[in-house]
């Protein structure tokens, strides 16, 4: 084995416990793997799905050290390993978010939700479900205010208000923030980091789902534009976005990508994970 390969083995280390199985009744009830948003079979990537009825994200154990020094901002990490992070903004939505959580659950995909404080106060049970199912919750301000366009006092109230709503809902303090509308500047990023310990999370892949181009377009953009280490942006308040997710997620899984939360992605970059039990899965990816 070449030396570089050996060292890479130790670099990207994952403790993979391959998924053993959920109960068969679960699968029958909840498996929407081959359906589009209307419950119909078909779609851009359905060929793959039909041949691989068990497209599931492997179970990863990637510890996230809360004391880990993080960079000011991330839109991707540098890695050759096939990890990506799916992120959803602006929820929780009382109908769309639970549907999305069902879609993620049958695929064992852990995502990151940048939630708005007002919605968090209204639907705290959905925040608790996110956490219980292994997802990460991040700050998206109380009222979806553009942080670089308001006073520091107003920005502080927006950030703290959302943080308190999340803590009230699930007891976990967020450590990442996505600026509403992507409106941010370096001064605000530094302030968020120094005052609250937040990293600002941007994105590398933007399917522009909020412009409602259609579910097929959203799915195709996500699958065709994503590379290893990238953070993908979407919004869980739009029905067509949810409808695009089975095709988008199955498309990425069938290309060999594996889903982790944003904080896990950051940990992978920091090489915090140190044991590989299933390296073949990894290296198969590079040649595929
Ligand atoms: Zn937003």
User: Which of 36, 89, 209, 250 is labelled catalytic?
Assistant: 89
Please compute Rg for the chain using Cα positions: 19
**CATH assignment of the domain containing 125:** 3.20.20.370
Distance 159 CA to ligand 1 centre (A): 13
Tokens of 151: 């006073």
Cβ atoms 17, 63 nearer than 8 A: no
Per-residue pLDDT of the chain (288 residues; tens, 9 = 90+): 444 444 444 444 444 333 333 333 333 333 333 233 333 333 333 344 445 567 999 988 888 877 776 899 999 999 989 999 999 999 999 999 999 999 999 999 999 999 999 999 999 999 999 999 999 999 999 999 999 999 999 999 999 999 999 999 999 999 999 999 999 999 999 999 999 999 999 999 999 999 999 999 999 999 999 999 999 999 999 999 999 999 999 999 999 999 999 999 999 987 644 444 344 444 333 333
Angstrom CA distances, 93 to 68, 188, 200, stand at 32, 28, 23
- Whether residue 12 lies inside any domain: the answer is no
Q: What is the pTM of this model?
A: 0.78
3 state SS of 161: helix
Separation of CA 180 and ligand 1 centre (Å): 4
Query: Ligand 1 centroid to 274 CA: how many Å?
Result: 35
Do the beta carbons of residue 115 and residue 137 sit within 8 Å?
yes
Active site residue 236: no
How many Å lie between the centroid of ligand 1 and the Cα of residue 120? 14
Q: Please tell me whether residue 137 adopts helix, strand or coil conformation.
A: strand
Measured in Å, residue 168 CA sits from the centre of ligand 1 at 21
Domain assignment present for residue 280? The answer is no
Q: Confirm whether 279 is domain-assigned.
A: no
User: Tokens representing 224?
Assistant: 């065709």
Per the annotation, the verdict on 89 as an active-site residue is yes
Is residue 9 in some structural domain?
no
- Structural domain count, the chain: 1
Unique residue bearing structure tokens 């996500």: 222
- Candidate list 93, 96, 140, 235, residue with the active-site label: 235
Q: Are 203 and 85 in contact (CB under 8 A)?
A: no
Cβ neighbors of 220 (< 8 A, separation 6 or more) are 44
User: Which token pair is 153?
Assistant: 């006092």
Range of the domain at 142: 34-271
DSSP symbols for 205-243 = B---GGG---HHHHHHHHHHH--TTBEEEEETT-HHHHH
* Cα 204 to middle of ligand 1, angstroms: 15
Buried b (16+ CB within 10 A) or exposed e, 28-66: eeebbbbbbbeeeeebbbbebbeeeeebbbeebebebee
Classify residue 205: in a domain, yes or no: yes
- Whether 204 is in a domain gets the answer yes
DSSP 44: T
Distance 21 CA to ligand 1 centre (A): 35
Q: Note whether residue 142 is domain-resident.
A: yes
Residue 258: inside a domain: yes
Give me ligand 1 centre to Cα 7, in Å.
40
């Amino acid at each position: 084995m070449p030396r570089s390969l050996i060292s890479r083995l130790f670099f990207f280390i994952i403790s993979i416990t391959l998924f053993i199985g959920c109960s068969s009744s679960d699968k029958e009830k909840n498996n929407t793997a081959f359906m589009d948003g209307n419950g119909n079979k078909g779609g851009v990537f359905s060929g793959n799905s039909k041949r691989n009825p068990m497209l599931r994200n492997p179970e990863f154990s990637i510890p996230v050290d809360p004391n880990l020094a993080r960079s000011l901002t991330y839109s991707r990490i540098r890695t050759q390993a096939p990890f990506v992070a799916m992120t959803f903004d602006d929820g929780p939505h009382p109908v769309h978010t639970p549907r999305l959580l069902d879609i993620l659950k049958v695929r064992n995909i852990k995502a990151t939700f940048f939630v708005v404080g007002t919605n968090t106060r209204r639907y705290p049970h959905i925040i608790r479900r996110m956490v219980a199912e292994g997802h990460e919750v991040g700050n998206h301000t109380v009222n979806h205010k553009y942080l670089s366009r308001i006073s520091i006092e107003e920005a502080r109230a927006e950030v703290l208000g959302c943080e308190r709503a999340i803590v009230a809902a699930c007891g976990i303090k967020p450590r990442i923030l996505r600026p509403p509308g992507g409106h941010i500047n370096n001064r605000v990023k530094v302030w968020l980091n120094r005052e609250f310990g937040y990293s600002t999370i941007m994105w590398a892949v933007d399917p522009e789902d909020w412009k409602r181009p259609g579910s097929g377009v959203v799915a195709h953009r996500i699958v065709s534009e994503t590379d290893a280490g990238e953070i993908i942006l979407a919004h869980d308040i739009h029905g067509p976005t949810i409808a695009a997710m089975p095709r988008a997620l199955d498309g990425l899984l069938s290309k060999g990508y594996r889903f982790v939360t944003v904080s896990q992605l950051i940990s992978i970059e920091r090489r915090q994970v140190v044991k590989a039990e299933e390296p073949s899965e990894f290296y198969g990816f590079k040649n595929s």
